[in-house]
A and B are shown apart, each in its own frame.
Chain A
Amino acid sequence: MSALPRHVIGFLTSLRVTVVLLAISIVLIFAATIDQVQLGILAVQEKYFRSFFVFWNVPGSEIPVPIYPGGYLIGGLLLINLVAAHLYRFQFSWKRSGLVLTHAGLVLLLIGELLTGLWQRDSQMQLQEGETKRYTEDFYLNELALIDTTDAQADTVVAIPEELLASGRTIQHPKLPFQVRVISHLPNAMLRMREQSPSAPPSPATMGVGTRVAVLPLRATPRPSERNTPAAFVELVGAEGTLGTWLISTEIGAPQEFTYNNHSWRLILRAKRYYNPYGITLLKVTHDVYPGSDIPKNFASRIRLKSDDGRDDREVVVYMNNPLRYGGLTYYQYQMNKATGLSVFQVVRNPSWLLPYVSSIMMGTGLVVQFGIHLIDFVRRRYARPLPVSTP
């Protein structure tokens, strides 16, 4: 083998490289932990872990400079290093079986995290006691729903993701008899009655509540627990010309209504919905505290689960540390208001949720085997030839 490939292979499979990468990863994790105080956990994940480089803005400018390898890069290099080392030096022996198993588990864990990052979708479901819902709502994303309610039997819904509105393009859809033109879009905004802010510029809205409301832009919130309240002005344009301009915002709770060509329409900007082939009804919420204190002991929601195909129709209790897994989704007890009978579930879709379980079993077993072999070896040698007792 010539010199260059040998160097490359030597480098790729080097244990020293492993050590350096591990050290680099510790610094990354430490910095990310510290930065959470300022940035919040979600922004930190994006900046440090779900990235190839950590960027730093030159003060006073918007120019990002890569200053440190990010999670994907370090993780990827570690993975290459690990796999290369094992492939290159692979010789099966029982003495090394634990190490191989541990590292295989590690590879699986890293892959699992990657897949989780790619596939996991978080949403939530808010229910009042007695209420039934057939959909969950996204934590962050919104959609503009245009609903044709003319038919008393069934609504026709066209949902336009907020990202599309943000892009500013004119949107056309076969089920819509008009185009949707975005006049302006604000990622986060506050609404005020016009009388309360007389200095606000005139509203572009010509229809609906928007004519009476002033829109004040806000900075997008960095906190994962808070939701942005976007707003937009959209103009609907039919074949004969404009229908008018509406203000839409998640701050406006009720849909706005209008008629066009003898069809009744509603429009609303709302949390993006994911529909399920089953309904969930909240029957009862319970919130236990320890006697003589207000320390919470448990939060539990009793729900009824009824699937469209009629195969499932049963009651389930969801409580702390005991989620409901059903139809590829997992429902966790998230928030609760006992007084108003409100319960909120966090709903997670993560097809790769089992991988960490498998990999942790592999890693645990691997380490036990490996260190067990070490220990037996050590004990055997010690009994064969006791160490000299040290003398000071």
Chain B
Amino acid sequence: MKRFLPLLALAVAALGVIASLLPSGNGSAFDLQTYGRLPVLVNGRLKPIDTVARTSLLVLQGRQRVTTPDRRSLSPTEWLLEVLYAPTRADTYATFRIDNPEALDLFSLSPADGNGGVRFSYTQLVKDLSELDRQAKLAEEVEDQLRTPFQREVLRLRHHIVLYQHLENTMQVPDSPDFSAELRQFQKALPAGIAALRARGKGEVHDEAAFKAMMEMARRYDFMDQSGYLLAIAPVDGDSNLNNWKTPGRALLESFDSGVINPTVLDYAALGQAWRSGEPDSFNQIVRRLEQEFVQRYGPQLEKCIIEQRFNSAQPFYTAMVLYVIALLLAVFSWLRWPQVLGRSAFWLLALAFLLTTGGILARMWIEGRPPVTNLYSSALFVGWTAVALCLVLEQTYKNAVGSVAAGLVGFCTLLIAHHLSLGGDTMEMMRAVLDSNFWLATHVVTISIGYGATFLAGFLAVIYIFRGVLTRSLDRGTAEALNRMVYGIVCFATLFSLVGTVLGGIWADQSWGRFWGWDPKENGALIIVIWNALILHARWSGMVRQRGLMALAVFGNVVTAWSWFGVNMLGVGLHSYGFMDAAFYWLVGFVISQLVIICVALLPPEKWRSRVA
């Protein structure tokens, strides 16, 4: 029975995970699955429409869920369809997050007017947009780091409004009652119109009405092109250059030369009309036709889009987060009761969560064609992954649930951090010129992230030692000695990787900037981690510290790593600006203070510890 229970827990969890990975039933007569994976080009990358919907929502309102005024809940893709094709409806959905009360004053709104006190609809904001624009212009004059929270909010909000308007203008002219019909009419009028244009160009007699109608169309489609956000129209057959993807507006302007309207634009317009008037059959027919076209021309890219969409809806990192918490609780309880059953169950759940994050990271790597760490977001994923991998090794070696608790803690925390970092937009962004080097991303960035992960892990193991020792009697000599070895081993590992990573960074800098070392804040941060780990090792070898001291030093490693990882990025923020501090800065300060408190606890005299090991 004892052997059987942990495996049962694993089986149940595994079933849950598999269920989350399977494509979910649509629940809608519209084929949203297929629509969601159609590719569009945004910010340098072909991505599924589903990703555009999700990242836009994260940027605008910090979450992917949308509730309509009549309490229906929309999937991200449904919301995007509303914005693209039924803007009057979409304008009433509360999808703009405004936290700053002074910014609300601009619109004569109070938190009570918003969904959940912070989310507002475009309709609520639209009448005062000119004032927002004026405030944003004033705020732009101020140097970035000196802006007040109000000014930052104003600029952020204007950016969001612009994004939203660009989405609305991208597939159709928003004031068109039936864009599909408009295009059909345009198609009919085109031959006469072009003739009028040409005649007028040569100074010959021409049909003035047809000419005027054409000019009006040109104005409308030029507006669409100027404010269009999605490059949704592929170039003509045989042209595989991604640079030639265009907005529907641009494609319509090209009709004046070619005399025909781009069929994809027509399809999308008809699809929009079908969505707006609620005709699933015609919607589904068009979606499948569009998909067929893309399959023929962009097979491999479409395959990536399908995987990316599946990855988006499966949310493997969210599931893993839940598993980490459950495992953490099981492992902690295993110190109190049923160590065998609970401890092993925790281990298996962790292994499953680890497998899931590994899969998620691999999927991202495959979609991007990049090594695992490309930005702050993916560094959070990878730092956590490294720490959990080490924990699994430790747990398999010592089987005392310490590794599991640490894995649950670090795994959960890093995924939580990653979640907050993902609110900035698409997490698979293009790498700017200097960073566009898979070799250095794979070597320097990966090693340094492993160093971060290991240093954090040593710190968290030390926290476990301190709390168990001070607060409970459960830290016996055997466990204490095991923890001592774990921390020492992990610090060795961390030293190796931070040192090698830092030096590789120096070599990259030498290759691209002409100096090995420039005392730049990020470099200094990495160097401090190396020196701190070296200090821990030397302090231990010289006998300056024993178990308790080692733990206190290792906890400070958390502070050093957090500073290097996030703190240096905030330097411009934290020190230059008076009054304003980013929310993340408060979290960092809070974390540092908590670690300092833990160090003070560790320094309590041994007789105050409930376990007699120190």
Residues of A within 8 A of B (CB): 14-16, 18-19, 22-23, 25-26, 29-30, 32-34, 36-37, 41, 44-45, 48-49, 109, 112-113, 116, 120, 122, 289-293, 295-299, 320-323, 330, 332, 346-348, 350, 353, 356-357, 359-360, 363-364, 367-368, 371, 374-375, 378, 382, 387-392
Contacts and interface: CB of A to CB of B under 8 A. Distances in A.
Contact of A19 (B336, B527, B539, B576): B539
Given A15-B541, A18-B538, A389-B400, A296 B496 contact: no
Given A33-B524, A292-B42, A295-B43, A387 B535 contact: no
B544 interface: yes
B4 interface: no
A293 B44 contact: yes
Q: Name the prevailing secondary structure of the A interface residues.
A: helix
B409 to A, nearest CB: 19
B17 interface: no
Interface in B503-554: 503-504, 506-508, 510-521, 524-525, 527-528, 531-532, 534-535, 538-539, 541-542, 544
A290 B44 contact: yes
A377 to B, nearest CB: 11
B19 interface: no
Given A321-B437, A378-B489, A391-B339, A30 B528 contact: yes
A290 B45 contact: yes
A101 to B, nearest CB: 13
B531 A321 contact: no
Given A22-B531, A37-B572, A291-B245, A392 B516 contact: no
B434 interface: yes
Nearest to A18: B538
Contacts of B434: 320-321
Contacts of B432: 295-296
B516 A356 contact: yes
B521 A36 contact: yes
Nearest to B539: A19
* CB-based closest 6 A-B pairs: A290-B44, A15-B542, A360-B503, A291-B242, A348-B514, A390-B479
Contacts of B231: 291-292
Given A293-B44, A332-B513, A387-B482, A16 B544 contact: yes
Contacts of A391: 339, 476
B298 to A, nearest CB: 13
Given A44-B519, A122-B514, A387-B478, A33 B568 contact: yes
A152 to B, nearest CB: 39
Contact of B528 (A29, A289, A350): A29
A357 B507 contact: yes
Contacts, number: 185
Contacts of A320: 433-434, 436-437, 512
Nearest to A331: B514
Contact of B500 (A22, A45, A367, A388): A367
Given A295-B44, A356-B517, 15 more contacts: A15-B542, A19-B539, A19-B542, A26-B532, A109-B503, A291-B44, A292-B42, A292-B43, A292-B245, A321-B436, A322-B511, A332-B512, A353-B510, A367-B499, A391-B476
B440 interface: yes
Interface string B330-342: 0000011001000
Contacts of B527: 29
Contacts of B507: 356-357, 360
Contacts of A291: 41, 44, 231, 241-243, 245
Nearest to A49: B519
Contacts of B517: 113, 116, 356
Nearest to B541: A15
Interface residues of B, number: 75
9 contacts: A18-B542, A22-B532, A29-B531, A290-B43, A290-B45, A291-B245, A295-B44, A297-B44, A374-B492
Nearest to A365: B500
Contact of A330 (B43, B245, B514, B521): B514
Interface in B221-275: 231, 241-243, 245
B575 interface: yes
Interface hub of A15, A26, A321, A330 (most chain B Cβ within 10 A): A321
A390 B476 contact: yes
Nearest to B479: A390
A49 B519 CA distance: 9
Nearest to A45: B519
B518 A41 contact: yes
B2 to A, nearest CB: 14
Given A360-B500, A390-B479, A292 B41 contact: yes
B474 interface: yes
B414 interface: no
A297 to B, nearest CB: 6
A212 to B, nearest CB: 35
B528 A295 contact: no
A107 to B, nearest CB: 14
A14 B575 CA distance: 38
Nearest to B480: A390
B430 interface: yes
Nearest to A71: B519
B96 to A, nearest CB: 24
A37 B516 contact: no
Contacts of A321: 434, 436-437, 440, 508, 511-512
Contact of A293 (B430, B481, B510, B572): B430
Nearest to A289: B44
Nearest to A371: B492
A116 B519 CA distance: 13
Nearest to A27: B528
A22 B534 contact: yes
A109 B243 CA distance: 45
B171 to A, nearest CB: 16
Given A291-B44, A364-B499, A388 B538 contact: no
A349 to B, nearest CB: 10
B586 interface: no
Contacts of B440: 321
A387 B476 CA distance: 13
B591 interface: no
B544 A19 contact: yes
Contact of B474 (A26, A33, A388, A392): A392
